[in-house]
Amino acid sequence: MEREKALAIVEKQLKKKRYEHTVRVMETAIALAEHYSANVKKAEQAAIFHDYAKYRDIKEMRRWVIEEKLPQDLLEYGDELLHGPVGSVMVEREVGIKDPEVQSAIYYHTTGKSYMSLLDKIIFIADYIEPGRSFLGVDEVRAIVYEDIDQACWMAARNTVQFLMEHEQPVYPDTFHLYNEGLMIKK
């Protein structure tokens, strides 16, 4: 699908601020894909659609989780986690995007997971470091992402776990798995 056509489709789904975020995630993901020799067109498409479901009705998303037989524990960790997994199915049903690599990157962009593909990592970290983000510690991640994308993803997971725990929010197991994986590789 043409970039302009894809952007026009998501623009209808998103508020202005979120659409602008999406364009920055796209630019960041393309730069990372070029740097790491990933599939640039898939990175572009996954980035454009990563937040496709962000503003869908929560009840509707919960229904998709049940009817599409997504992991039912998604219903217990806070509604912010729904838009990735549900979005990965919605883009197939509503837009016709049927590409397991692209859909996986959309699926895991919020939580990450262990054993991410290169495309999963690019979308996960592009969403975290795009220039509009100001998370505590994000500059440290930006400084390393072109040298070591695994370390960058690990730092993002660590920062997110820390943030969620400080606010006594539940941490989804996939996010912990990404955090633990980084420590085990570093031995």
- The entry of ligand DGI, Fe ion, none near residue 78 (CB within 5 to 8 angstroms by kind) is ligand DGI
* Binding flag, residue 51, ligand DGI (CB under 6 A): yes
* Binding flag, residue 13, ligand DGI (CB under 6 A): no
* Binding flag, residue 80, ligand DGI (CB under 6 A): yes
* Binding flag, residue 169, ligand DGI (CB under 6 A): yes
Kindly list the residues in this chain that would bind Fe ion in the complex (CB under 5 A).
51, 127-128
Exactly one of 6, 47, 81, 155 binds ligand DGI (CB under 6 A); that residue is 81
* Binding flag, residue 73, ligand DGI (CB under 6 A): no
What tokens were used for 119? 């495309």
- Minimum CB separation of residue 172 from ligand DGI in Å reads 3
Q: Is 133 left (phi over 0), alpha (psi -120 to 50) or beta?
A: beta
Contact call for residues 121 and 146 (beta carbons, < 8 A): no
Count of residues touching ligand DGI (by CB under 6 A): 18
Contacts of 32 (CB under 8 A, 6+ apart): 38, 43, 122, 125, 126, 145, 146, 149
Exactly one of 42, 54, 113, 121 binds ligand DGI (CB under 6 A); that residue is 54
b or e along 83-94 (b: 16 or more beta carbons within 10 Å of the residue's beta carbon)? bbbbbbbbbbee
